[in-house]
Chain A
Amino acid sequence: MSVSSVMHRALFAALLLVGTHAFALTIDYDPRRATELRACDDARYRGQVQQARDCYRRLLETSGNLITQAEAAWALGDVQRANTLFREATARNDRSSQPRVRWGRLFLQTHQHGDALTLFQEALQRSQNDVYAKLGMAQVFAQRFEGQARTIVDEVLKQDDTLIEAYLLRARMDLEEGQLENVDATLDRAQHLADRQRLPPLEIYALRAVHEQIKQGRRRDQWIERALSYNPRYGAIFEQLAHFEVMRRRYREATQLLKRAVEVQPDLWSAHAELGANLLREGDFAQARIHLTTAYSGDPYSATTVNTLRLLDHVDKFEVSSTTLEIPSINGGTFKTELRTRLDPKEADVLRPYVRKLAAESIETFAKRYQFEPREPIALELYPNHDDFAVRVAALPGIGLLGVTFGYLVAMDSPAGRATGEFHWGSTLWHEMAHVFTLEVTDHRVPRWLSEGISVFEEWRTGPTPGVVVTPETIGALHANKFLPIADLDSGFIRPNYPEQVQVSYMQAGLICLFIEQRFGFDRLVALLKQFTKDTTTKRAVEDTFKMPTEEFDKQFDAFVRERYEPLLANLESWQAQYQQASKAIAESRWQDAIEPARRAVELYPEHSGPNSPYLLLARAYDKSGNRAQALQTLLDYRAAGGWDPDALRELARWLDEAGRGREALEVYAALNYVDPLNGDQHTVLGERYLAAGNHEDALREFRVQLALSPHDPAPAHFGMARALRALGDRAASRRHLLDALETAPHYKPAQALLLQMIEERKRNE
């Protein structure tokens, strides 16, 4: 068990989801660019396609400069030839940095960040002050949302304050992080330099339009008009605007913008790709496929496009089903919500009942708590192959997310997507369903930190594993004063400065929600959320809700968490020592020696119920020392604190049974379905318990799930179904399952007895 729950979850989380492609028609601001390209560039920047193509073609054929030829080939869309020419140019000019910088840019545009970085580094080895090589690196880091990007930009501007590209990149990062104060000044400076160097203003116009869009200014369309009047085919301005809408999870708005992008520039492949990805976020698989196919036809180098197209072929085979849920309404009566599930056919029959049950419970819970009734069908997609899920949400395999919410659409790992015990799929579903509400209540305006905070908080408060679970990394960050001010908390998700910062930010956001609930009451958390039904900032929303400056809020929150974790913070080293001592004693089977340090570790840090929890050490130590009663109580405490390790729960259920506490054992077995539903044994156990308790519907569900798992031995499930159906009055189906049981296991005595009883009854009724 390595990772779990919140740790790897990032909502529309990681900004990987907003796409990592370079925008088309990027402008080379390097003064070393050959002057013979200028005329062609001008035509291109003005949208004079044919003229530009003729010009570049002429250069490709006639220029004696390999770099010029490479640039011409690149502008003509022949990236293979450009690649060959750049290779030749670098070979012939081994000591020159510029060919490497431009070759690196080609790799950047064709999505090969690793190769691009290598070339920028090689350029810097040849010329350590090459600012365009540095900016190339900054572009890579910025596209990957890595914190170094800003440092490099600051460094190159210190070196040379006339670099247009550096100002543009700084403005763009400011816009992405919502730091709007200096954007105008930065763009003014870029504009001034572009005018002076007679370079096109298109990228500046695009960022100005973005700025207006973010601050709800009135001049967005003016900048669009100016850009289009400069270049009627400048689709990239819409693509930029869409990018920022996607970042705010405003997918519908993004779709409209991307449609305009491909309308004005039909060969803007990156916009087709993004439009396809965005339509997938909205659940429109058919239209998505069309645009992705178009993108692929023009840009076959995009791994994200290729991966997504492959996934679509696979997902076509998924089972799609729909049900209408009737949920108690906040205004009395009920309301109806359609729930659509898209599940792998191999596990659909196993998961569907639990997915529907949990989704219905979450909708009822959140509708009541956040006073909002869903207005559209909610779609849930569960992927048994984690890489498929990763491609579905970010088009790149290998990312560490568990679930992603795109409004009314949730995609997540199915329980088969990770090793048993690695994640609690029920909590993940609960977390994502909370996002559905926070996003839709605010029409997607909710800031990232608050949406994540509420989802984490709801996991603790109302989820299938209630209990506040705070990771040691979070305690470490608190101890090291690394919590961020609330007004800046989004940056902890967007551009983390240390490896665990995203995870810590989740926890901090959850703790802020907990603080609000405990200090001001839950209603005030709802009130804070509802501030975002209009356009506002975190700073303003906090001030309006709590009538205090954010600095004061931060101060009170800090006091709250420090008081909450006071014993642990004061004894952090001691806790670590106790924990290690207990672990060592357990590893050496010195059970008695493990008890006291493990007990003390639990006492100091009772919220450590995630992986490697000291509760598990303590329970084991007690049990092995012959103190089953204390061991059992420890596991009960562990579960109450939010622990859900499936092996521990199975042990707990067994111990409860042995202690004659069958009803509690039943509850624990049932809880296992939301951790590890693909283990057939518990379904049989549960089915039998439900039958014994007269709960025939639930018994039927469990036996049916057991059969859906295609067990090695299907007879007990058939026999269970036969008895449940018989109790429910469906004699014909009962007979069929009884015969199925005996067909597999003809000597199955309890089934034989029921068969003879059935025959006897039939005779009596004849």
Chain B
Amino acid sequence: MKREATGYRLQATAIHSSAQRGREGLRATARGLLFTASLFMAAPALSDTHALIIAGLGGEQQYEQRFRNQAKALAEATEKLAGDKSRVTVLMGERAQRDNVRKELRALAARTKRDDQVLIVLIGHGSYDGEEYRFNLPGPDITGSELAALFDRLPARDQLIVNSTSASGAAIDRWKRDNRVVITATKSGGERTATRFAQYWLEAVTTKAADTNRDDVVTAAEAFEFANRRVADSFKSDVALATEHARLEGRGAERIAVARFGNAVLATSDSVLSALYTERAGVERELDALKQRKATLEPEAYYDELEGVLVRLATLQQRIDARQAVLRGESE
């Protein structure tokens, strides 16, 4: 089931992040950074990605090990996305005690700016007593309400919180905000069985399997769709009643990058390439608009028009690839 990662590695020494907000912001960074093409198109200047990954209490050896492994692998993938290890914090084992969680969330709030992107992933077990969600940690658990208050201190305009624990659905309404996408492994607090969601989320951000539009960027929307599907398939394959149904709340999941692959990484100071990217962004907008009109067009007319747009996109891509090759040659 699992696809092999293609092994692309981001070459940037520092990556200014991913989140896209509108397509107007084509700006090069001062350091001539490398971006994947489509991210580059919309990346705001001087924005960073910060992440906090917490693996809670396993309770049993098998879960303890599994949660740690998942947290480590996720951290590795997120470091590539963030481009800087220092921006990714992992709490697991004894380090994942409540006080540390509080401390790290406060620190995260202190170091992030409004233009930054924040990713928070909770792995482990959760519980719900009918009133309050609790994330199970070594020592005292932390409640959903307290986490909500800590999340609300985050200034970042784009926030993604992935709660992959059991009963996580109980927290979603309390955590959702206009500038925040919240993903939970379960639809409610009533789904209390240990979840499978985290393992498929991990697959989504460590392989290219979730990148359905092939732009070498996995967005939160793509990763959610992928993991959600994989969870459902796994229950189907076991002919077992599904004990978890993931939810996504909030707008903009399609703009939040959670993984990045490929070698579409070039110096943004190159004006030719910049112009090509701008042009390509325009064609992409046309494509989106056409797809919106699909239902109103006769099939033949739609496909004729689609062909025209796609040919222009393909032609542009050829020019981008050619330019990238030239630039790569110059830099080597």
Contact = CB atoms under 8 A, between A and B. Distances in A.
A745 B213 contact: yes
Interface in B213-230: 213-216, 225-226, 229-230
Interface stretch (B172-180, B246-254, B303-311): B303-311
B61 interface: no
A747 B237 contact: no
B209 interface: yes
A712 B237 contact: no
B214 A746 contact: yes
Interface stretch (B79-87, B89-97, B312-320): B312-320
Contact of B229 (A386, A712, A747, A759): A712
Contacts of A590: none
A742 B309 CA distance: 10
Contacts of B328: none
Interface in A741-762: 742-749, 752-753, 755-756, 759
Interface string A671-699: 00000001101000000000000000000
A739 B216 CA distance: 20
B303 A712 contact: no
B238 A420 contact: yes
Given A712-B212, A744-B212, A747-B215, A756 B239 contact: no
A713 interface: yes
B239 A755 contact: no
Given A712-B229, A746-B310, A419 B213 contact: no
Contacts of A752: 310, 313-314, 317-318
A416 interface: yes
Give the most central of A417, A742, A755: most B CB within 10 Å. A742
A92 B216 CA distance: 81
Nearest to B310: A742
Given A386-B239, A419-B237, A679-B1, A745 B307 contact: no
A755 B318 CA distance: 12
Nearest to B290: A743
B306 A739 contact: yes
Contact of B314 (A681, A712, A756): A756
Interface in A716-749: 735-736, 739, 742-749
Interface in B29-82: 38
B311 A712 contact: no
B311 A419 contact: no
Given A712-B229, A755-B310, A416 B239 contact: yes
Interface in A417-452: 417-420, 422
A755 B1 contact: no
B310 A747 contact: no
B92 to A, nearest CB: 24
Contacts of B103: none
A753 B214 CA distance: 14
B262 to A, nearest CB: 10
A713 B209 contact: yes
Interface string B224-264: 01100110000011111000000000000000000000000
Contacts of B306: 739, 742-743
Contact of A756 (B216, B291, B315): B315
B202 interface: no
Contacts of B226: 712
A746 B287 CA distance: 9
**Secondary structure of the A contact surface, majority rule:** helix
B232 to A, nearest CB: 10
Contacts of A707: none
Contacts of A409: none
A129 B307 CA distance: 88
B163 to A, nearest CB: 22
A715 interface: yes
Contacts of A681: 1, 3
Contacts of B229: 712
Contact of B311 (A715, A748, A759): A759
A739 B314 contact: no
B104 interface: no
Contacts of B215: 746-747
B214 A419 contact: no
A401 B214 CA distance: 45
Contact of A755 (B213, B284, B311): B311
A743 B237 CA distance: 29
B1 A746 contact: no
A739 B303 contact: yes
Interface string B289-332: 00100000000000100110011011101100000000000000
Which secondary structure dominates chain B's binding surface? helix
Interface in A301-345: none
A416 B313 CA distance: 41
A318 B78 CA distance: 46
Given A416-B236, A418-B239, A736 B287 contact: no
A746 B214 CA distance: 7
Nearest to A745: B214
B215, B216, B239, B291: residue with the most chain A Cβ atoms closer than 10 Å: B239
B221 to A, nearest CB: 12
A746 B238 contact: no
B214 A748 contact: yes
A715 B214 CA distance: 9
Interface string A337-378: 000000000000000000000000000000000000000000
A744 B311 CA distance: 15
Nearest to B37: A747
Contact of A419 (B238, B303, B317): B238
B311 A756 contact: yes
A683 to B, nearest CB: 13
Given A416-B236, A420-B237, A712-B225, A744 B213 contact: yes
A747 B213 contact: yes
Contacts of A739: 303, 306-307, 310
Contacts of B314: 742, 752-753, 755-756
A346 B145 CA distance: 42
Nearest to B262: A747
A189 to B, nearest CB: 51
A752 B237 CA distance: 34
A735 B308 CA distance: 13
A246 B34 CA distance: 76
Contact of A715 (B212, B225, B291): B212
Most chain A CB inside 10 Å of its own CB: which residue of B215, B229, B310: B310
Contacts of A715: 212, 214
Interface in A104-163: none
A417 B318 CA distance: 48
Nearest to B230: A712
Most chain A beta-carbon contacts within 10 A, residue among B1, B226, B237, B314: B314
Interface string B180-217: 00000000000000000000000000000110111110
A745 B216 CA distance: 11
A753 B317 CA distance: 10
B98 to A, nearest CB: 35
A746 B237 contact: no
Interface string A446-469: 000000000000000000000000
A735 B300 CA distance: 11
A743 B311 contact: no
A220 B284 CA distance: 82
A-B complex: 5 closest residue pairs judged by Cβ atoms = A752-B314, A745-B214, A747-B214, A748-B214, A420-B237
15 contacts: A416-B239, A419-B237, A420-B237, A681-B3, A713-B209, A715-B214, A739-B307, A742-B313, A745-B213, A746-B215, A747-B213, A747-B313, A752-B317, A756-B314, A759-B311
Interface of A: 386, 416-420, 422, 678-679, 681, 712-713, 715, 735-736, 739, 742-749, 752-753, 755-756, 759
Interface of B: 1, 3, 38, 209-210, 212-216, 225-226, 229-230, 236-240, 284, 287, 291, 303, 306-307, 310-311, 313-315, 317-318
Given A712-B229, A735-B303, A759-B311, 4 more contacts: A739-B303, A739-B307, A742-B306, A747-B216
